[in-house]
Amino acid sequence: MSNAIAPKSYIASAAALASGADTPRAFLERCLAAIDAHEKDVLAFVTLDVDAARAAADAATKRWRDGHRLSAIDGMPIGVKDVIETVDMPTGMGSPLFTGVRSGRDAASVKALRQAGAIILGKTVTTEFAASFPGPTRNPHDLSRTPGGSSSGSAAGVASGFFSAGLGTQVVGSIVRPSSFCGVVGFKPSIGGINRGGSHDFMSQSAQGALGASLADVWQVLIEIVSRAGGDPGWPGLAGPMSLPAARAPTALAVLETPGWAKASDALKAAFAARLSGLSRAGIKLLTRANTPAIEAVEKSLESALALTRDINGWESIWPLNIYRDRDASKLSAPMRERLAESEKMTPDDYRRALAARAAMRVTYARLADLADACVTLSATGPAPVGLASTGDPAFAVPGSILGVPALSLPLLSENGLPVGLQLMGFEQRDADLFAVAGAVEAIPGD
Amino acid sequence: MSNAIAPKSYIASAAALASGADTPRAFLERCLAAIDAHEKDVLAFVTLDVDAARAAADAATKRWRDGHRLSAIDGMPIGVKDVIETVDMPTGMGSPLFTGVRSGRDAASVKALRQAGAIILGKTVTTEFAASFPGPTRNPHDLSRTPGGSSSGSAAGVASGFFSAGLGTQVVGSIVRPSSFCGVVGFKPSIGGINRGGSHDFMSQSAQGALGASLADVWQVLIEIVSRAGGDPGWPGLAGPMSLPAARAPTALAVLETPGWAKASDALKAAFAARLSGLSRAGIKLLTRANTPAIEAVEKSLESALALTRDINGWESIWPLNIYRDRDASKLSAPMRERLAESEKMTPDDYRRALAARAAMRVTYARLADLADACVTLSATGPAPVGLASTGDPAFAVPGSILGVPALSLPLLSENGLPVGLQLMGFEQRDADLFAVAGAVEAIPGD
C-alpha cells in the first residue's frame, strides 16, 4: 500500500490553479479518490462532509477562474483534528463523552481558514482529549502500525493524500510524533503562535499547528490563520512573510541528543549521521555535546523533561477532567482516570515548582541561540511501532513542547523502509527563521 | 432603601457557625429574605435556584454540626457572574444569543467552590459578553443609578445582602467599578491568579476575581478556589495563607493620579485627601508625583491606558465575536458590532505594537515596587451615575487591568451619601501583600 499513497501539495499546484490547468474542484476530486481507495483501511476521519466540500470547491474554482481568489489556500482541502470546533460538524474529542456533540461554533483557526477560502473537508481522529488513549486510525505506510498521536488522523490523512494539510495540536508529542511516523511535514509553533480559541487545547505548553504535504503547505496554512485570527491572546503570534520564507542555509546547527537518543536503533543513528554528514559537507558547522558545553547543559537539563511535562499537564488538566468524571466516569479511559487521581494529589506549590523548573530549562536552551541557527535531532526513536494500542514514544518531541520553541519534523529519514522524521528545533518566536533553515536542510542530501 | 440593605459576611459568622449559634441554612434564609424584599427592585439575578440552595445549605449545616466542614466557606452563599459556566444553570453571557443556553459543565472556579461546600445560589447579571452593553440591574443604593459593570449583579447582590460573595471578571473595569458604585469590597487578582477555565473571559489582561462583604470573604473565596483549581495554566496563581493575610501597615504608599483624576469632583478629592491625611498621621509615608519622579512617570505612561486596552481587547475579541455575528448579527448590540468592525481593521502588527506598549507600561509601573508597598487611588471618578444605559466611567479601573497587577476596591469613601471605593493597587503576583496592606488601611480612619 505504501506505494499507492502520497501527500498532495496544494501550494505546488499554485501555478496550475492560476492558469486554469488545475482547479480546486479537480484537486478535491483527486483527494476524494484517495479517500475512496484508502479511508476504509486508514480510518483517518471521524466526520467527512463530501457534499459541503464539493460545494466549497466549486465556489473556490469560480473565484480562481474569476481572478478573485481569497488567499493562496483558497480551495485547499484541510482536515481538522477533532478537538478543534467546527460549526457544521460535531467535535468528538476522541471521547465517548462527546460523540456527536456540536459546539455550534467554529474555532478561531477554522473560522480564519474559511475566511481564506480553505475547504474544511472533515474532522480527523484524535486520541482521547488529545492525550494518550488512541483512536482507530492506522498508519498508511503499514496498517499494522500506529500513525502516532494525538493528531493521528491529520497525519495519516496527509500521508494518504486525503487533504493537503491537517490542523493538529501538541502538548507532549502530538504533532512531531505522528508526522514522523506517517512521513509528512509537521510543525508545532512557538508558544502562543496560533490562536487556540475553540480548541480543547488550553494547557500552558500546548500549541496548535499543522501537518502538511510540504513545508510550503504548512507555512501557508498557518500564516493565513494568524493574519486573520492572530496568535493566542497576549502573544505576538506566528510572524513572517505571507508565503514560505526563502530557504537560507544555516551557519551552524546544534546536534541534540535528548533523552530519546539512547532508545534509537543503530540503523537510525546511522541514517541520521549520514544526513548530518551531508550538511557538514555543505559547509554547515555542526556543534555537538563533544565540542560545545552549552549543548551538554541543554541535554542534561532535558533529562527531566517528560516527567516535568506530565506534572505540568496533569495539574492543568484537573479541570475539566474532574467535571467529565462527574458526568460519567465510565466514559473516561482507565489511564485518564488514573492520571487525574494522581494529579489531584498535587498542590499549588508542587505546580509552582514545576513551572520554575520549566522556566530554568528554557533559559538553558535559549543560550544556544548565540551559537547555532537551529537545533537538529530525530523526531522519534524509530519508525511507528506495530500495534494500535499505543501511539508510540514521545521522547524526541517533548523538548520542543516543554521549551515552547518551534519544532519541525521533516520526512527525510527512514528505517526498514518506514519513515522517520528529522527534527529541527528553533528559538522562541523565531518560527520563520526555522522554516528558512528547514528549506535549506531538506534540499541537502545525506551522504 | 439604602438603610434597609447591608452586605452579609459569612466569614464574620465563622464563630457562630462553629458553635452552632448560627447555621448555613439560617444564614441562607437571611439572604433569601433580603432577596424576597429587594430583588424585585435590584434585579441582580438572571437565574436563582432557591430549592437547590436550601438543599445545599442543609447539607452544609449537617457538616458543620458534625465537625466535618469542607472548608471555611462551606455553606457560603455565592452568586456567579453569568459568563462563568454552571452545570445546573444556563450561562446567558448577557446576550440574547445565549439566553437559556446550558454548557453542561461547571467552570473551574465553580467546580472548586462546590468542592469547598459553597452554595451556588444563582447566576448574576452581566453586561453583554462582560463588555459594555448593560443588563437590567439597578444600584441598591439608588435604584435610578447604574450598579456599574460588567459584574453588575454580583456587585448589587453583595451590597443587598443576597449572598456574601460574587464571582466577577475584569478586563477593563468590571470588578473595581461596580464594587465602587455598590459599596462592596472588590478584588481583581494579578494576571493568571484564578483559573478562568469555563469562563467567557479569555483576553490576555482579563482576570477572574470576587466581590464580597469584606476583605475576609473575598480572600477566602479566592484562596479556596485556587487551592483546588489553581490559577490560569502557566501562571503561579494566587498565593498566600488559607485565611485572610494579617493586616500589616505599609511603610510607604504611592498616591496615583491616573487619567481619571481630572474627572473626579472636588468633594471626592477632599474625601480622598482626608483619608490620606489619616494614613499619614498613622505614620505611613505618602509618595506623590510632586515628590517622586517615578510616580509621575507612571501617571504619564498610563495616559494611553484606555486606548491601548481597547485595541488589545478588540483584537483579541475578533474571535468569537465574528462567529456570533455569523450566527445572528441582530443579536449583537450595535456598539458591539461597531467595535468588531473597527477591530477587524487591525493587523497582527498593530496588535504586536500594542502588546509592546503594554509591556513598557508594566516595566515603568514595576519600578514603584522599590519605593512603596502599594499604590492608593480612587476606584471611580465619582459615585454611580444616574441612568442604566451606561455602566459608568472605567478610568480608574483600567490601570490595574492593563498592568496585570492586583487591584482592590474598598468601600471607604462617599460623595453625596453614595459609596465610592478607595483603590489599592499592588504588584504582580504579590496579591497577599496587598491584602495585608488593605487590612491596615481600612482600619485607619480619615481625618
Res. B2 pLDDT band, cuts 50 70 90: very low
In this prediction the ipTM stands at 0.96
Chain B nearest C-alpha distance from A435 (Å):
20
Over residues A17-26, the mean pLDDT reads 98
Cβ contact A229–B318 (<8 Å):
yes
Q: Other C-beta atoms within 10 Å of B245: how many? A: 20
Q: What is the CATH code for B11-229?
A: 3.90.1300.10
Please judge whether B87 and A323 are an interchain contact, meaning their C-beta atoms are less than 8 angstroms apart. Answer: yes
Confidence of residue A374 (pLDDT cuts 50, 70, 90): very high
- Name the residue among B202, B233, B351 with its Cβ closest to that of A203: B233
| Residue B3 reports pLDDT greater than 90 | no
- The residue type of B65 is R
In this prediction, residue B59 carries a pLDDT of 98
B-chain CB neighbours of A198 within 8 Å are: 319-320
Report the mean per-residue pLDDT for chain A.
97
Is B227 within 8 Å of A348 when comparing Cβ atoms?
Answer: yes
> Is the CB of B205 less than 8 angstroms away from the CB of A234?
yes
User: Which helix (H) or strand (E) element contains residue A81?
Assistant: strand A77-81
pLDDT band at B4 (very low <50, low <70, confident <90, very high): low
C-alpha cell at B223: 484562596
CB-defined contacts A:B, below 8 A: 97
- Say yes or no for a CB contact (<8 Å) between A348 and B111: no
Contact status of B348 with chain A (Cβ, < 8 Å): yes
Percent pLDDT > 90 in chain A is 98
Whether B150 sits among the annotated catalytic residues: the reply is yes
Q: Which residues of A touch B318 (CB under 8 A)?
A: 229-230
B374: pLDDT strictly greater than 80: yes
| Measured distance CA(A343)–CA(A329) in Å, rounded | 16
A4 falls in which pLDDT band (50, 70, 90)?
low
Q: Which long-range contacts (CB under 8 A, 24 or more apart) does B224-227 make?
A: B224/B71, B224/B72, B224/B73, B224/B112, B224/B113, B224/B116, B224/B118, B225/B108, B225/B109, B225/B112, B225/B113, B225/B116, B225/B194, B225/B195, B226/A348, B226/B112, B226/B193, B226/B194, B226/B195, B227/A347, B227/A348, B227/B112
Instruction: Indicate if B81 belongs to the active site.
Output: yes
Q: Say whether B136 sits in a helix, a strand or coil.
A: coil
Over residues A271-328, the pLDDT tens digits come to 999 999 999 999 999 999 999 999 999 999 999 999 999 999 999 999 999 999 999 9
What residues does each domain of chain B span? 11-229, 252-293+369-443, 306-359
Tell me which residue in B230, B323, B348 faces A348 most closely, judged by beta carbons: B230
Is B301 one of the catalytic residues? Answer: no
B305 falls in which pLDDT band (50, 70, 90)?
very high
Closest-approach residue (CA) in chain B for A229: B319
Q: Which of B9, B132, B160, B174 is catalytic?
A: B174
Q: Do A319 and B351 touch (CB under 8 A)?
A: no
Per residue in B126-179, pLDDT tens? 999 999 999 999 999 999 999 999 999 999 999 999 999 999 999 999 999 999
Distance in Å, alpha carbon of A308 to nearest chain B alpha carbon: 13
Nearest to B111 among A104, A236, A319 (CB): A319
| Percent of chain B residues topping a pLDDT of 90 | 98
Q: Which residues of A touch B404 (CB under 8 A)?
A: none
**pLDDT for B224-246, tens place per residue?**
999 999 999 999 999 999 999 99
pLDDT value for A2: 40
Residue pLDDT, tens place only, A192-215: 999 999 999 999 999 999 999 999
Homologous superfamily of the A1-298+361-447 domain (CATH): Amidase signature (AS) domain (3.90.1300.10)
Q: CA-nearest residue of chain A to B192?
A: A204
Contact by Cβ (8 Å): B208, B171:
no
Give the CA distances from residue B23 to residues A56, B14, B17, B68, B396, in Å, rounded to whole numbers and listed in that order: 63, 10, 5, 14, 39
* Inter-chain CB proximity B237 and A111 less than 8 Å: no
The mean of the pLDDT values for chain B is 97
Partners of A229 on chain B (C-beta within 8 Å) are 318-319
Q: How does DSSP assign B161-183, residue by residue?
A: TS-SEEEEEESSSTTHHHHHHHT
Pick from A203, A239, A352: CB nearest B236: A352
For the annotated catalytic residues of A, the residue numbers are 81, 150, 174
Banded model confidence at residue A5, pLDDT cuts 50, 70, 90: confident
- In this prediction, residues A177-204 reach a mean pLDDT of 97
pLDDT at A3 over 80: no
Segment B21-53, tens digit of pLDDT: 999 999 999 999 999 999 999 999 999 999 999
Asked if the Cβ–Cβ distance from B316 to A352 is below 8 Å, we say no
- Decide if pLDDT at A1 tops 50: no
Is the Cβ of B355 closer than 8 Å to some Cβ of chain A?
yes
The pLDDT value recorded for residue B5 is 83
Q: Chain B: residue nearest A105 by CA?
A: B323
For range A417-434, the mean pLDDT: 98
